[in-house]
Every structure is written in structure tokens, then in C-alpha cells.
Structure 1
Amino acid sequence: MAGAIIENMSTKKLVIVGVILLIFQVLSFLVGGLIAPSPTTAVHYLATKCVDNRKHLQRTKLFMPWGPNQCEKIRDFDEAMGKQIKADDIVFAVHMPMPNKDMSPWFQFILVILQFDIAFKLVNPIEEGAIATIDVSLAFRDDTFSEWTEMAHSIEHRKLSCIFSTAKAPENEGRHYECDLLPFMEMGSVAHKYYLINIRLPVNEKKRINVGIGEIKDIRLVGIHQNGGFTKVWFAMKTFLTPSILIIMIWYWRRITLMTRPPVLLEKVIFALGISMTFINIPVEWFSIGFNWTWMLLFGDIRQGIFYAMLLSFWIIFCGEHLMDQTQRNRFSVYWKQVGPIVFGSFCLFIFDMCERGVQLKNPFYSIWASDVGTELAMAFIIVAGICACLYFLFLCFMVFQVFRNISGKRSCLPAMSKARRLHYEGLIFRFKFLMLVTLACAAMTVIFFIISQVNEGHWHWGNYTVQVNSAFFTGIYGMWNLYVFAIMFLYAPSHKQYGDEQSNGDLGVNSGEDAQLTTTITHVDGPTVLYKMTGKEAQE
């Protein structure tokens, strides 16, 4: 029967393939480290205080902080009190980006964090559990002459979490509270050049709206977006890697279909892994440059979730099918206890994502982090996801240990063989162990990347917007996934060389006779052999 390429290819050719893959892996890190800039940039904005002098009119006008049609401004609230301007008539205006700059679709997304500058006043302190009610509008335009078009309007609530580090005494009036940053807005595309945000803080003492939130001096925003240079490098990588995985996947399945037997479970799972890798590779993000596809962030999360689920399931089945003493193999139902939790966790991840980014398709100001329950849920998700990822890796290490232990037990038969045959099988064992160690390394890097990406996203919402992961890590891990999938499909594809029992035994000078054959394989007996076959006579000798 035809074995897999990993067992039939010469050591010299395998070393050449390994060196080529290693070079591409190093290049994937260098692309991010030397060519691409940091993945994201944080830009600080200070809101301009505009005055709405219109009386008895619906407040639909948008106020521009600068330019030819700029609003009437005030410096602070003391000036507003001197001019008898009510709090309801003050609009905090923020133009994104800064003057003489414009936004770009290459930015891919915008995440905005809000911070209140609140001064301490004995007569107006921040009450326990104070909630700020924000009347906010978002508008866009693509040139500096056209009118603003409102794209979203919402009334949001944000709970204040502020501390005053010094004594609350008269001499300390005017000092600012230390307030946590608040999630404010997230958009999944940047299709327009200019954006305008107008924020009102309406006051209604009867309904306790914006009462007990202290004396707000200023509103600051932090806009976080993906760097355009990193986006171009990322798109280029996806465009380059997509055809390579697609071609190897077609070649792999063609070799499987040429076999006289039906494909076994491991071969099917490898093909499914190639499909999931192709799905995440396809650079549909190119369309986001010309179209306002606000759902691209959600779609990207779904693609990554499918790939994670397939990759984690593959590793479980890959190790399980290589347990030589496992009596039941080549059936997906055997792994439902291991794969089931992975599918369930992926489904929970999808629901969690839909609860935030799904709603943001209609209301970009919605955030699951805005409420206590949502924050606790999001925090719990990040912690549980990290713990589960670590437990999964430990379980995978245990399965690999079992495989290695079984192989060590079978190696006791090797000294009885002829020298040529023993060296042949020792080489196969070494190849297999090396591949398993590479799998563990890939799993470890994937788990680390998953945890860091979840924590990094959490840091954005917690306000630590300076936390960034180096571009080399993103491009390196992404390249590692592609190279690993490429290597698995190449090495586990059926070889064109035919190694039947008679041919194999004849080449190595082994007497087959009529002795019962003891077959030990790392996969299924009908699939790639990948390790060795021994006759009963050889085992006795």
C-alpha cells in the first residue's frame, strides 16, 4: 500500500522542506518586525465646548469645533455661568481626525474611549454609583465643503468610577478626580474621511438625570484605529498565502481520491483544516477599502473562531489517531467528549461576540462593558477563556506524552530487526516525534496568541490604550498557522511510491513466510502507516 510522504521521502528532501518552511517562518516574523508599523495607534482628542443658542427648536443641528462654520465656544463652565448658559445648551464637539488630516478605509476600525475631567466641589460631589447620561450624535462627510450627514444617534448611560486621592476638604476644591476611562464607541469600518461627534449632558433634577456626577470640566476622547501601513502588510500576506494553501489543499485531496480505499478520519480532518485555513486567508478585506461594510469586524471574528475550533479539534484527533494502543479509531464519534467542549466554547464565543459587535452594527455607541453585569460577564469570559486555553494545552501535552510512551514501548522490538530495517524505522520514529513536538510548539504559540489578543482587547475597554502587541507577533503567528497547515497536508498526503509488504520486506532482506503479521501504526491500519510494520517472526527474533 502507499504510505504517507513523511515516511517515504528521503531524509535529505525532508530536511530541505523543513529548512524552506523555517525560512518562511522567519520571514513572516521579519515582515511584521521590519516592514509593518505597530498594529494600532491611539489619538487623543479634547472636546470643544460649543454653545447652542437656539431656543424652542429641535436640537438636530451639528456643531463643528473649527473651520469656516465653527460654533460659538466657551472656555469653561464658569464662563457659561457668567453668560447664563444652561448645561443643556452646551455641546461637546470632537472632530476626527485632527485638522489638516483625514481618515482612511485602511484604518479598518475605530474604537473610541471616553474620559471625564471632573473637579472636586464640596457642594457638588460625585455620588456613589453615579451614572452619566450621554446624548451623542455621530456624523460624517467626505470633503470639507459638504454638509454633515448624521449616521447614528443614541442616548447612552455610563457608570462613573472615580476616586479622590486626597482629603475632601475646602482647600482641595478644584482638584480633579481620578476617573476610569469609559467605553464609548466602536465602528467596524472607516469608510469616510471626516467624522464629527456631538455630546450633550442633559440635566433633569426631577428624573435624576446627570445629577450627582460632579462638576465636569472637560471631555476627552481617545480614538484607537488600525495603522494603514500594518493593514497593507496584513492584506499582502493574506493575498500571498491564500493561493498557496488553496493549491496544496487541492493537490492533497486529489492524491486522496486517487487511492483505491476511501479516505480515513485523519485525512478528512486534515482536509477540513485546510478548508478552514483557506476561509480565514481569503482577503475579502480588500472590499472594505471601497465599500462601507460595517460587519467586517464581526465577520473576521467568526472566521477566526471557526479556524480556532477546527485547529483545536484537529490536534485532539491527530493525537488520538496516533495512539497505537487505542482500539477504536477512524470514527469521529470516538472524540465527542474532547471535541464537544471545543464546539460548545466556540458557540459561546460567537454568542458573546454577537451581544456586542452584532448590536454595534445598528448602534456603534453600544458596549457590553458599559454596565456592571456586562463588565463582569466580559471579564469572566476573558478569564475563563484563558483558563480553558491553558487546560486544553495541558491536555494536549498529556496526549502527546501518551503517544510517546506507546512508541517507546514498541521500540523494544527494533533491536531484533536487521540493521537496515532498524535504522529505517528509527528514522520514521524520529520524524514522527519531531512533528509532534512542532505541533506542541504551534499549539503553545496559538494559546499564547489567543490569551494575549483577548487581554489586549480587554485593555482597550479598560482604558489601557497604550498596550500594544508587536506587529511581528501577529504576522509571525499568522504565518506559522499557514506553514503548519501546509506542512501537515504535504507530509500526510499519500506518497506516489508503492511500499507493499512483499516489496518492503524484499528490499530489506526480511523473511515474511507464513507468520502472522503484527501491524503497529500511528494512524489507522487503512490509512498512512507513518511508523513501521513488523512480522511476527521479526518480533520473535
Structure 2
Amino acid sequence: MAGVVLENLSWKKLIILGVFLLILMISFFLIGGYVAPNPSNVVTVLATRCYDRGSKLNRSKWFVPRGPQKCEELNNLSPTDEVIVNNSITEKQVVFSFWIPGPREGAERRMSPLFQSMLGVLQLDIEHSAKVPLTENAVLQLDVGMAVRNEEDTDWMPLAKSVEDRNLQCKLDKPKEEGYLYDCELLQLFELGSVAHHFYLVNIRLPVNFVKGYNVGIGRVVDMHIHVIHQNGGFTIVWMTMKCVMFVMVLSVLIWFWRRIMQLGRPPNLLERTLFALGVVMSILNCPIELLQLGLNIPFMLLLNDIRQGAFYAMLMSFWVIFAGEHIMDQTERNRLSMYWKHLSAIIFGSICLFVFDMCERGIQLKNPFFSIWVTNAGTKLALAFIILAGIAAGCYFLFLCYMIFCVMKTINSKKASLPSMSQLRRRYYLGIMYRFRFLMLATLVCAAFTVVFFIISQLNEGEWRWGDHELSLEYTSGFFTGVYGMWNVYVCGLLSLYAPSHKTVVDMDSTDGSTEENVQLTQLPTTPSETSALQALTSKAAQD
């Protein structure tokens, strides 16, 4: 039995490989920290209050805040405004218009496909007024529409229209005097999975219906702001470059690994098949299909990326369970996927829950970008409970993995009792294997810890603004974002390289022709086709004894 590269590679080559992978992983953190800008950017756009002179609600007309088609603007919505007093303007004739993005330093800016996706968050300025009170738990109904235009176009093309309800959660910190603004929580307005156009136009009306209770008790809305969150173009360039490089690298190592497996005179065992599957899923995650967005409008790209990352999480967690379990079980239980059905069932169930939750929001947003699961109290509680439970489940999984790795370490340490009876060369060989495998287990634990932290932080940042954070601070840094991604790739490449079958020439242990620990034949240990390494053979023998 020749074993795997991890066991038969010389210490010099092993150290060189380890240093190379470590430098590669550190470079990912440095690229994110010193080269790439922040992953996301927040742009705030103030509404232009447009006047619709029509006596009836015309939802097919678009009101543009600037340019040749600029609408008739209302200076303010105060009851003393001359236009409002003289013309008796109703709430249906007031249109809050947003041109995204807004101008900067007198120059017109435009959106770019490099922004990848766009999230719009609505902030209301509601004045306290004794004549127009704001009731507790008021429901805001938005008659909202979105249109798009490119730089070479002259007309706006409708993208989506909808009537949406949002729950108002406001409080008045200052004394209740006329003119003071309520402190209101932010409201999700829209989410787009692709930024394929240069300009976006959003029109919002707040029609009142006293019979049905629409927009009754919402106070005096005097202004609106949209906070637009999108991925930085500079970060996208760095991110896509990393994905292209790692896609080629991981795919090359994966092909080399599988060719080594196919050269064996036995079918692949469970650990080898699972490691190959992990490499395939990692390659799918690395595949830079986002580059297609630079020339095509792919609105489902955000959902597709969520599915790819969810599949990687599921495969990575499944691999860790099998990887640790294969070094705990005895020979009679090895190489059987059915032995892990409890662990894998829990992972699959959690992955299905993640998929259903994602489809309930981003799946529906493919047709209606203004839809949100957070619009009702029940939906908000469900979404918050899901995020909290996901974080708790990730923490519990990490603790369980720590327990499994502890059992593996305990199993390996128990095998030291059989080493003194071996020859000096054989004892040194197995001690070297044990030290290498311990280091690999510790690396697995570190990778798992960073993955769990990254998962929890990503969930918290995704829902941060929904909990009323007016600053919309994006706390995670580019270095952590790119570093964790690089760590996944380095970890998978390292495993594929170290667990590939070794091609070393096998000689007899007791030969006197200068054999070393690189070319040792384990003639005293029985092996089966399911065993990958000499360490598994030693573990199986001790377990049977």
C-alpha cells in the first residue's frame, strides 16, 4: 500500500507546499485589505416632490425629477405652501420621484453592471402635527413604480409596478411640537439581482382611502430618501479576478487528483468520492459566471449565487463530518455513507430550509422587486427567527465538529501504545504521519471556525438595516471577505493535493539499501480497498484489537 501524498511526501517538500499555501492564503487577506475597496457602497437619493395636475390617478405616466422631461416641482408639502393652498392638491397628485443615481458635482452619474445587484431602502421624514396624527403601528401603502433608461435612450421603459404595504415603526424623541420629525425605522423598498441599465426612476404615491383605511394615521409625510446599496465596482474587478484565478487552479488540481484515483486498482472509497465532490462544488462556486452580467441582463444572478454558496456550505459541512468520521470508525463501518445518515440528514434539512427561505423572498422578487417577507409582523418575526436559528445551528455544528475532531485526536493518541513494539524506522514513520494528521485536523478546525463566523456575520449584515439601523454601516471588511474565500480555496487545494494517492516506489521496510520514510511498505498491517492511507490501516487494526 503506497498511501497518500500526506504520508509519503518528504518533510522538505511538505514544508514547501505548506508555506506556499500559507502565503497564498495571506495574500487573499492582503488583497482585500490593501487593494480592494469596501465590498458595498451606500448612495442616498432625496426625492423630488412632483405635481400631477390630472384629476384622476394616472399610473402610466412617469414623473422625472430633472432633465428635459422634468416634472412640475413642489417646494414643500407644508399646509401653508401657496401652490397647495391655491390648487387644493390631493395626496394622489403628489408624486415622490427618485432618479438613481443622483448627480455629483454637477455631473450626471450612472449605474454600472459592475455593481452586480442593488438594494433600495426607504426612509421617511414625517412631521409631528396635531391635525395629522401618527397612530401606533400604522400601515403605509405605497403605490410604487420603477422605470429604466440607458444613456443613449430618450424614453423611460417600465420595469415593475406594484402596490405594497409597509408597517411604520416611529417614535418621537423630542417634545411633541409642530415641525419635529419622528424617528422612523427604515423600510425595504426594492431589490434587484442585476444592474443592467444606466439610470433607474422610482415614482411613489401615497393615496389615502378612508373606507379601506389605506394611509390613514401615517402622519404628515414631508420627504423621502432612498438609500441604495450596491457592490463596489472596484471590489467586483478584484473579486472576479480572484475567482478566475482560483477557478483554473482548483479545477486543475481536481483533475490531477481524480486521474490519480482512476490509476488505482480499486474503486474510489467514500472519503475520496466526498473530497472529489467538494472539489466539484468549489469549482462551481469559483466559476466566474458573474462576468456574463457585463453584457447581459440576468435578474436571477443574485438568487443563483445564493444557491451556489448554499450548496458549498452543505458540501463542506458534509465533508467535515465524513472526514472526521472515517478516522474514528472501525474497519467494519468504514466506507459506508449510510453510517452518516443522521448527520447528513440534518445538514440537508438545514440546506432545504435555507433554500425555501431564499426562494420566498428573492424568488418572488424576480417578478416583483418590491416584494419583501419583512412587510408584515409575522414575516418579520419569522425572518428574524430564521436568522437567529441559523446562527445557533452553525454554532452547534461547530461544537459537534470539535467533538468529532477531539475523538479523532483521542483515537490517534491511543495508537501510540502500539508504537514501542515496532522497529525504529517504522515507529518514526508512524509518528511523522500522526504529527502531519494532527496539523491537518487543526487546520480543519480553524477553517470551520472562520466559516461559521463568516456565515453568522453575513446573516447579521444582511438583516442589520431591517432592525432600524439608520447608519446602514457595513461592518465587514474586504480583507475578511476575500480572506475567507481564499481560505476555502487553499483548504480544498491542500486536501486534494495531500490526499491524492502517492506514486512513490514501495520497498520493503527491513531492507538495508537506504530506504527512508518516504518509501515504506506496511507489510504488517492488513489493508482493504476502502482504506486510503496507512494511518487508517493502523487505526483499523488497533480498533479491531
| TM-score (structure 1 length as normaliser) | 0.93
Residue type matched to 2:479 in 1?
A
How far apart are residue 373 of structure 1 and its match? 1.4
Kindly report the root-mean-square deviation, in angstroms, between the aligned alpha carbons of the 2 structures. Answer: 2.1
Letter in 1 for 2:484: I
Question: 5 Å matches for 1:97-496?
Answer: 97-99=101-103, 100-143=108-151, 146-168=154-176, 172-323=177-328, 325=330, 327-464=332-469, 465-496=472-503
Cα drift, residue 460 of structure 1: 3.6
Partners of 1:535 and 1:42 in 2: CA distance: 57
8 Å contact from structure 1 (residues 40, 468) kept in 2? no
Distance apart, 1:421 and its partner CA: 2.1
Are 2:53 and 1:53 equivalent residues in the alignment?
yes
Moved more, 234-243 or 407-416: 407-416
Contact preservation (8 Å) 2:430, 2:535: no
State the shift of 1:498 in Å.
4.0
1:499 corresponds to which of 478, 494, 506: 506
Q: Which amino acid aligns with 2:97?
A: A
CA shift for structure 1 position 144? 6.4
Residue 82 of structure 1, aligned match among 66, 82, 85: 85
> What amino acid does structure 2 have at the position aligned with 1:354?
M
Q: Residue type matched to 2:124 in 1? A: F
For the residue of structure 1 that corresponds to 2:237, the secondary structure is: helix
8 A Cα contact 2:327 2:536, kept in partner: no
Q: Distance in 2 between matches of 1:273 and 1:483?
A: 13
SS in 2 for 1:150: strand
Deviation larger for 195-204 or 144-153: 144-153
Residue deviations 1:271-329, cap 9 Å, x none? 00000001101111000111000000000000001110000000000000011547411
Q: Could you tell which deviates more after superposition, 261-270 or 318-327? A: 318-327
What secondary structure sits across from 1:496 in the alignment? Answer: coil
1:92 matched to 2:96? The reply is yes
The answer as to whether partners of 2:269 and 2:530 remain within 8 angstroms in 1 is: no
TM-score normalised according to structure 2 size: 0.93
CA distance in 2: counterparts of 1:370 and 1:180, whole angstroms: 12
The CA deviation at 1:470 is 0.5
Distance 1:524 1:337, change over 3 A: farther
SS of the residue corresponding to residue 374 of structure 2 reads helix
1:218 is displaced (CA, Å) by 0.6
Corresponding residue for residue 19 of structure 1: 19
**Equivalences, count:** 525
Distance 1:322 1:535 in 2: 9
Give % identity.
Answer: 50
**Shift, 1:463, TM fit:** 4.6
Runs of 4 or more, structure 1, over 4 Å off, are 324-327, 516-519, 531-536
Structure 2 spans left out of the alignment, 5+ residues: 517-522
CA distance in 2, matches of 1:97, 1:525: 60
Deviation (angstroms), 1:462: 3.2
> Whole-Å Cα distance in 1 between the matches of residues 92 and 158 of structure 2?
20
Shift of 1:123: 2.5
| 534 and 372 in structure 1: CA distance in 2 versus 1, 3 angstrom threshold | closer
The 3 A distance-change label for structure 1 pair 135 and 425 is same
The Cα of 1:466 is off from its aligned counterpart by: 1.4
- Contact 2:123–2:226 (CA under 8 A) maintained in structure 1: yes
Secondary structure class of the residue paired with 2:6: helix
Structure 1 distance, partners of 2:159, 2:153, is: 18
Cα distance in 1 for residues equivalent to 2:540 and 2:490: 37
- Distance (whole Å) between structure 2 residues aligned to residue 95 and residue 415 of structure 1: 78
**Residue 66 of structure 1: how far off its partner (Å):** 1.3
Amino acid at match of 1:82: V
